[in-house]
Amino acid sequence: MKKKESKPYSSDWSDKKRLLEGGNPLDPFQIVTFSLGRESYGIPIERVREIIRPTPITLIPHTPPYVLGLLNLRGNVIPVIDLRLRLHITPEGEAKNNRIIVVEIEGVVVGMMVDSVSSVMTVQEDMLTDTPDMLCETDDGFINRVIKTDQRLTVLLNLQAMVYPKAG
């Protein structure tokens, strides 16, 4: 098993990009937390444009299974992905609490379907941990870090990897 190196925050955190090694402190930052099943996930709040209730989505043929289609958001057409399918989590169908988190990544606006949006959390440096080494053999770059609180673990996602699959 290859040893996973401690990694800086992904490039989609341009204003938060810092190494945790070498004593470089990390300022507290905020994330939006959401649920997929019983698990908690988070994304940087500065990437979130808005959170909306699901609206009709136009299906597009020949797209990856996790791409739900296109959404007309006040005249702007945006792609919508199902994060359950993207993360290989068994879909449970539509629920009354489903939401679409509209994010901007490298100038591209994308909607992400989640089971529910939980809260905004302030993350301190001492709450962060790397993902376990055993995950690095199948690491697709989706997981940035894990956040530990007294209540639970929250997986901090790398939006860039979620939206732009590795070429090759």
Task: Specify the 3-state DSSP secondary structure of 71.
Answer: strand
Distance CA 104, CA 51 (A): 12
Distance CA 42, CA 119 (A): 9
Per-residue confidence (pLDDT) for residue 133, from 0 to 100: 62
Distance CA 113, CA 94 (A): 10
Q: What is the pTM of this model?
A: 0.79
| 79-113 exposure pattern, b = at least 16 Cβ within 10 A, e = fewer | bbbbbbbbbeeeeeeeeeebbbbbbeeeeeebbbb
Per-residue confidence (pLDDT) for residue 1, from 0 to 100: 40
Per-residue confidence (pLDDT) for residue 122, from 0 to 100: 92
Domain range annotation of the chain: 28-163
Topology of domain 28-163, CATH: OB fold (Dihydrolipoamide Acetyltransferase, E2P) (2.40.50)
Per-residue confidence (pLDDT) for residue 99, from 0 to 100: 96
Residue 126 CB neighbours (<10 A): 8
Per-residue confidence (pLDDT) for residue 60, from 0 to 100: 95
Per-residue confidence (pLDDT) for residue 2, from 0 to 100: 41
Per-residue confidence (pLDDT) for residue 50, from 0 to 100: 96
pLDDT tens digits in sequence order for the chain, 168 residues long:
444 444 444 434 433 444 333 345 578 899 999 999 889 999 999 999 999 999 999 999 999 999 999 999 999 999 999 999 998 888 666 678 899 999 998 889 999 999 999 999 999 888 888 776 655 555 577 888 889 988 889 999 988 887 776 643
